[in-house]
Structure 1
Amino acid sequence: MATQQLDNDVPATASTSSALIDRVAMLLEAFVGQGPLRLAEIAERSHLPRSSTHRVLQRLVELGWVERHGFHYILGIRMFELGSQVTRQRSVQAALPVMIDIARRTGHTVHLSILAGSEVLHLERVGLWPRAHPGWNVGARQPVEQAAGGRALLAATAFEDWPPLDFSVVPTCYSVRTRAHLERELNKVRDRGGIAVDVQGCALGVTAVAAPIDVDRGKIALSVCGPTRSLDTDSVVAIVRTAAVDIYRAASGVPALRRRVIN
């Protein structure tokens, strides 16, 4: 069997390699549009024997392409990281000039992020602060329910498409702790027209304002963070709202609107 050959480190033929790649592809396709799946459900959806499904899943879990939670499997963070590279190419190119302008005008740090499972993955960052919190760096991840960018994306995502949330990470005394608490925060996001504000939920002394942006391969979040004691929330909300529209237009090729200059 092809899988036995691979398990025993025996060189595979071209046909064997092709067959294995087909199996992996069919298995991963089983997750499209689905939430957590049991082994039997994955085998049924991928039309593979249960034993082969289990063997391939085990290897994908080891590689980080799939995650196992009890008896359920979901796509792993590595899959989202690889997929984000495609989104990054166009969205970051469109967003960078806007991000640089915001950082220059406000003195705050600007992030571009994407939903990666139950976390927010930072694709790009412009600005140096905060230095003491590695969770704000490019490539770092934060719990989706705690981050302003994560809540902006959740509010713009249908409930059935939400990732699993366990509320186990509570960075500060201001963090979201329960689903009911999260729902209250998301209602505030919707009341602001999709703009999320997090005050010290991810890190003490840090306030972040974020908006979701539709791009051709999903949604990204633009966020601005700064010291809680000095960040003017109302003005930053207005800046983020306008910037999100500018990035959407640049990413989608829609000409920017000419703004009237009022003397």
Structure 2
Amino acid sequence: MDSRPAALHSVGVARTGAGETVLSRVVRVLETFGSDVTTLTVSQIARRSGLHVATVSRLVAQMARHELLQRDGRSVRIGVRMWELGSRASPTVGLREAAMPFMEDLHAVVGHHIQLGVLQGDEVLFVERLAAPGAVINYTRIAGRLPLHASSSGLVLCAHAPVDLQERIIAGPLTVYTERTISTPRRLRGTLADVRREGYAFCQGHIHPDATGIAVPLRDSHGAVVAALAAIVPNDDTARAQIPALLAAARGVSRAMAGHEARRA
């Protein structure tokens, strides 16, 4: 008896006439949605995915039956079941559970944005974020991404990433957001060395002129860097005063993660 989940029976994994699996097309449909684009029509999904409207209409109907997508008239959005399945299986669940108490304490002290990022491909993916009314501008959001060279979290993760990934990022291209964004391979290489030596990344105005990003590494029980903890604060003379609190919080999160690993073992 076929043991595949019912959703895969319906969606199928057979290859299409063009040589692309139906599952690949499902992924293309899902990837049309983003943190800033949460609702689309079938025609918009077709245009963004490069698929035929009839193909998208058929896939959307099948995915909606399994609650992977949700339809409201002509509007289509990611279904709640996608969040449920992702949350159930995500390797960041333990990380978020260990980090959240320390993030909340840090948030109370700093009074601005606190966020948790992990390495995903050549970008930093933000898996948790705490904000406050009236806090400094911040372009990141949960499930949002930024280039490694431009953000404090990205620099921490890149500085401790495998050498081949570092060299690929250094080779560019390096997207420029402001006049302070790292834009040359030489400067990026030097900044990564500084991050490893100093134990934190300090980015004044790299993403927005009014904001400073400060990030520190989070390590597992073996000392490997698995995430970055960051604060986004106003770009003023008081920004550096937040570094000790971030370093203390990082030590607490790392100890909590080690405790979680020991209990699982």
Same fold (TM over 0.5): yes
Q: 2:20 matched to which residue of 1?
A: 55
- The answer to whether 1:221 aligns with 2:228 is yes
Q: 1:191 matched to which residue of 2?
A: 197
- 1:245 to 1:53, Cα distance in 2 relative to 1, 3 A: farther
Q: Find the aligned partners of 1:84 and 1:183 in 2 and give their Cα distance.
A: 38
Paired residues, what number? Answer: 199
Give the superposition deviation at 1:252: 2.2
The answer to whether the 8 A contact 2:212-2:239 is kept is no
Deviations 1:111-160 (A, max 9, x none): 11112222222111122254644x22222222111100000011111212
**Candidates 144, 148, 153, aligned match of 1:144:** 148
Q: Find the aligned partners of 1:232 and 1:169 in 2 and give their Cα distance.
A: 24
Superposed, 1:125-204 pairs within 5 Å as 125-128=129-132, 130=135, 132-133=137-138, 135-162=139-166, 164-165=168-169, 166-192=172-198, 194-204=199-209
Superposed, 1:220-239 pairs within 5 Å as 220-233=227-240, 235-239=241-245
- 1:92 to 1:178, Cα distance in 2 relative to 1, 3 A: same
One-letter amino acid matched to 2:140:
W
Q: Find the aligned partners of 1:150 and 1:84 in 2 and give their Cα distance.
A: 26
Gapped regions of structure 1 (runs ≥ 5)? 1-12, 24-50, 66-81, 256-263
Give the superposition deviation at 1:58: 6.1
Q: Find the aligned partners of 1:170 and 1:163 in 2 and give their Cα distance.
A: 18
Give the superposition deviation at 1:213: 1.3
Q: Find the aligned partners of 1:155 and 1:204 in 2 and give their Cα distance.
A: 23
Give the superposition deviation at 1:63: 4.6
Q: Find the aligned partners of 1:55 and 1:218 in 2 and give their Cα distance.
A: 37
- The answer to whether 1:253 aligns with 2:259 is yes
Q: Find the aligned partners of 2:247 and 2:92 in 1 and give their Cα distance.
A: 20
Gapped regions of structure 2 (runs ≥ 5)? 1-7, 32-85
Segment drifting more, 53-62 vs 135-144: 53-62
**Candidates 240, 244, 247, aligned match of 2:246:** 240
One-letter amino acid matched to 1:178:
T
Give the superposition deviation at 1:93: 1.2
Q: Percent identity, aligned pairs only?
A: 23
- 1:137 to 1:239, Cα distance in 2 relative to 1, 3 A: same
One-letter amino acid matched to 1:93:
E
Q: 1:209 matched to which residue of 2?
A: 214
Deviations 1:9-53 (A, max 9, x none): xxxx96x95xx49x9xxxxxxxxxxxxxxxxxxxxxxxxxxx999
Deviations 1:72-122 (A, max 9, x none): xxxxxxxxxx59962331111111111111111222321111122222221
Deviations 1:208-242 (A, max 9, x none): 11112134897111001100115331x32222222
Give the superposition deviation at 1:197: 1.0
The answer to whether the 8 A contact 1:167-1:176 is kept is no
One-letter amino acid matched to 2:212:
T
One-letter amino acid matched to 1:195:
Y
Deviations 1:153-197 (A, max 9, x none): 1111121244953334211000011222211111111220x3111
